[in-house]
Amino acid sequence: MDEGSSPRPEPDGLLSRQGEARRVNATILSLVRNSEIDGMVQSMRDLERTWNRKFNYPWTFFNDEPFTEEFKKRTQAETRAECRYEQIPKEHWDTPSWINKDLFDESAKMLDEKKVQYAQLESYHKMCRWNSGMFYKHPALKDMRYYWRVEPKVHFFCDVDYDVFRYMADNNKTYGFVINIFDSPDTIPSLWPETMKFIAAHQEYIHENNALAWLTDADLRPDHNRNAKGYSTCHFWSNFEIADLDFWRSPAYEDYFNHLDRAGGFFYERWGDAPVHSIAVGLFEDASKVHWYAFSAPRLLYLSFHFAKPPNRFRDIGYQHIPYFNCPTSPKCRGCQPGLFTDGDEFLFKEDCRKNWFKFVGMD
């Protein structure tokens, strides 16, 4: 906005500059390679159009290699906000010294025979580990409280006229999500048993208002619960998450991640950050601090593990990461089919774990 021009009122009644003045310490966060520039620009364009042009939160890009000048130039051109380009420290990205390379290779071969995707890509295992327990340790985030994770090639469909970070702060929320799906038990056969070992030694970390019932539900996919040794495999799909960094910095999560890290499942199996984050939030956090962004006609479904009356300006976030959607019924959403879960093959519909979620929060 030019100096001296009249500020344009935003739909929620806040002026642009007032919105920026009330910003919390937060950033949009992306782990991305230089080769993914086209997909990153597309994601930025969508989120800037639907939300960030109103609030100008900084973008923080992470890469295990230096960013190219082309990457910097093209991404900065998509936003008026500050863009920060950070390289991941070698000690945060490299395979830990206690991982046996021969065992990793043999395990990867066995996973590959079971058709586990990316099993033999060591870089994928490193990424899952970094997203689980290393990203929040980067010096670039030391003064940040909240982040919105955005990946390349995602779409945002709905105009959002409120500051989602301010909403999280004002309403004491820890974790926000839009999509809830099942994981493949073949990728995490020992994750729940290792979690049970940790819980046995650290009962003090379990929150009295936890989501254990959601994590252990066996009704919808009993085969998943059985093959994952008692875990439903339901998880928040973490390619979209809006979260409080202080939760990951807490003693409970740090101790839990360190336990899992030493167990080796990020490499000997294919533990993803989505089930790791979901289990931790479900066990160690007050369930009322978990927020599902949802607006559905004819009534507003505001689920934070309990029902509450939302602010008038609350609207949800339409989102797609192939092959799944969160597409609400709202006049503020364009370009997606309301209620659509996936546009992929029919078998993908059974991966929807929302029924478990709705049962847990007491909604038919």
Specify if 30 maps to a domain: yes
How confident is the model at residue 2, as a pLDDT?
Answer: 34
For residues 302-325, average pLDDT: 57
In a domain, 173, yes or no: yes
CA dist list (Å): 90 to 64, 126, 135? 8, 11, 12
pLDDT for residue 209: 93
288 inside domain: yes
Q: Does a structural domain hold residue 172?
A: yes
The pLDDT assigned to 294 comes to 52
| pLDDT at 246 (0 to 100) | 98
What's the confidence (pLDDT) of residue 21?
A: 59
- At 257 the pLDDT is 98
Region 316-323: mean pLDDT is: 87
Is residue 35 domain-resident? yes
More confident residue, 160 or 340: 160
Compute the mean pLDDT over every residue in the chain, rounded to the nearest whole number.
87
Quote the pLDDT of residue 306.
Answer: 39
pLDDT in tens, 224-262: 999 999 999 999 999 999 999 999 999 999 999 999 999
**Looking at the 3D structure of the chain, how many domains does it have?**
1
User: Would you place residue 363 in the very low, low, confident or very high pLDDT band (cuts 50, 70, 90)?
Assistant: low
pLDDT in tens, 76-133: 999 999 999 999 999 999 999 999 999 999 999 999 999 999 999 999 999 999 999 9
CA distances from 118 to 102, 123, 139, 277, 363 (A): 18, 9, 29, 20, 36
In a domain? residue 7: no
The Cα–Cα gap between 242 and 150 comes to: 9
314: domain CATH number is 3.90.550.10
Share of the chain above pLDDT 90, in %: 72
Contact status, residue 329 vs residue 340, Cβ threshold 8 Å: no
State the residue for tokens 């499942």. 265
**Which residue has tokens 């395990």?**
107
Residue range of the domain that includes 88: 20-361
Which residues are designated catalytic?
Answer: 241
Give tens-digit pLDDT for 288-300: 899 887 533 323 3
- Percent share of the chain, pLDDT over 70: 87
- Please check whether residue 6 lies inside any domain of the structure: no
In a domain, 120, yes or no: yes
